[in-house]
Every structure is written in structure tokens, then in C-alpha cells.
Chain A
Amino acid sequence: AQKVTQAQTEISVVEKEDVTLDCVYETRDTTYYLFWYKQPPSGELVFLIRRNSFDEQNEISGRYSWNFQKSTSSFNFTITASQVVDSAVYFCALSGLLDTGRRALTFGSGTRLQVQP
């Protein structure tokens, strides 16, 4: 079985603050993939990043950065200099083998980020 935990239910920051969204996962797979998705108020899921379990190099994309630490089973997401448009629900997800032997995404419960002007 696999599990993704996003302990922060809701975070509120003021524009231009940095914010880190936490994600901790559990899996018995040796090969797996981790994702972050953004869900704006309109509801669709927007893919942000995918990392595989063999690549622990941190990644930066503009104001977004991701810190993958296999030793602590964490894949945290940091937004630098947050903007109002960053307000959304952010989901961390894990692609690994289900008990049925099939591979599918398991999502965390999401973190709602509100960026105040």
C-alpha cells in the first residue's frame, strides 16, 4: 500500500512571502514517482512536476522549487515571493504499485494556499 500525507490543511501568507508545502509519503516500491499538482478554483488539475525515486537532485523552476529527500520520504514544494495567482489547492501525489499490482496515482489530501494581497 502507498500513502501520501500533506499535514498542512490550509496556509495563508501575504504576497511576496515564501511558503513551503510539506509532503511525506510511504511506499514499498523501490521505483516510484512523485508529483505536485495545482488545483485552481476552476477545479482542473495542473501538472507542476514529476520526480523519480532515483533522482534526488533538487529542482528549481522560476519561483517554484522542490526538495526531494529520500531519507525522510519527503518531497516538499517551496514558492518564493508568492503571488495572489498562486492561491490554489496543491496536491502531492505518488505513482507506485497498488495492492492489485497496477500502478496509479495516490494523492495527498491537499494543502489550500491563500495568498493575501
Chain B
Amino acid sequence: SQTIHQWPATLVQPVGSPLSLECTVEGTSNPNLYWYRQAAGRGLQLLFYSVGIGQISSEVPQNLSASRPQDRQFILSSKKLLLSDSGFYLCAWSSDRGGPEDTEAFFGQGTRLTVV
């Protein structure tokens, strides 16, 4: 069965410090990968998605970047965190088999980031 791992679960970082959040998927190959952010009391906003190694699309301009160095690894980064980067970050994957099952996303446990 497929599983998705995301870490760390919580993180407190000072303004201006770097960030690296990691997400890995097991039990599937060539998944579509996503990073979502949920600001306090808000919905989920799609930040990045990736359809393959090295292929990253950004949905919103921001202070963050994403990379996909391996097929099942997705990393969210920042060189210098801002206070506005605080939020709940969720990694997700979906299949890429060309069928309706591709539409369903499976989410990690999330990382709660607080920038102080």
C-alpha cells in the first residue's frame, strides 16, 4: 500500500533562517506531488506541484521554492523565512495513470511552521 511521510511535524524558526521540509512517498512510482499551505483559519492553497523529477510548477509567487531530486521525494525550501511563511504545510500525492483515480490526492500529516 502507498504511504506518504512528511517531517518534521512541528517547526519553530526565526525570521531570516532557512527552511527545508521533506516529503517522501512509498509504494507507488511516478506520482504527482503537491505542496499546500494552510494559513491560520484559512483554506488550503496550492503552492507547488510536480509531475516528475526536476519538474516543478509554482501556482503562486512567494518566498518559497520546491525541488524534486528523486521520483518520490519532494522538498519545500526557503533561503530566508518571513513571518508570513507561518502556517500548516501539507504534502500530497496523486497517481498519474490517466484514469479518474488520478484526481484523488492523499495527504501527509502536515508540518506546522511558526516563524518568530
Residues of A within 8 A of B (CB): 6, 33, 35, 42-45, 47, 50, 52, 91, 95, 98, 100, 102-110
Contacts and interface: CB of A to CB of B under 8 A. Distances in A.
Q: How extensive is the interface on chain B, given as a class?
A: 20 to 34
A91 B43 contact: yes
Contact of B43 (A33, A95, A109): A109
B46 A105 contact: yes
A38 B90 CA distance: 14
Contacts of B43: 6, 91, 107-110
Nearest to B57: A100
Contacts of B112: 43
A79 B92 CA distance: 27
11 contacts: A35-B104, A43-B110, A44-B109, A50-B104, A91-B43, A91-B44, A98-B59, A100-B57, A104-B34, A108-B43, A109-B43
Contacts of A91: 43-44
Contact of B100 (A44, A52, A108): A52
A50 B104 CA distance: 8
Q: What DSSP secondary structure best describes chain B's contact surface? A: strand
B59 A45 contact: no
Contacts of B106: 47
A44 B107 contact: yes
Contact of B51 (A35, A45, A102, A108): A102
Contacts of A108: 43
Given A44-B110, A100-B57, A106 B100 contact: no
Interface in B3-38: 32, 34, 36
Nearest to A50: B104
B44 A103 contact: no
A47 B51 contact: no
A102 B59 CA distance: 11
Given A45-B90, A91-B43, A91-B44, A103 B103 contact: yes
Interface string B91-111: 010000000101111111110
B103 A50 contact: yes
Given A44-B107, A104-B34, A109 B88 contact: no
Given A45-B90, A50-B104, 15 more contacts: A6-B43, A44-B109, A47-B104, A47-B106, A50-B103, A91-B43, A95-B104, A100-B59, A102-B51, A103-B103, A104-B32, A105-B103, A107-B45, A108-B43, A110-B43
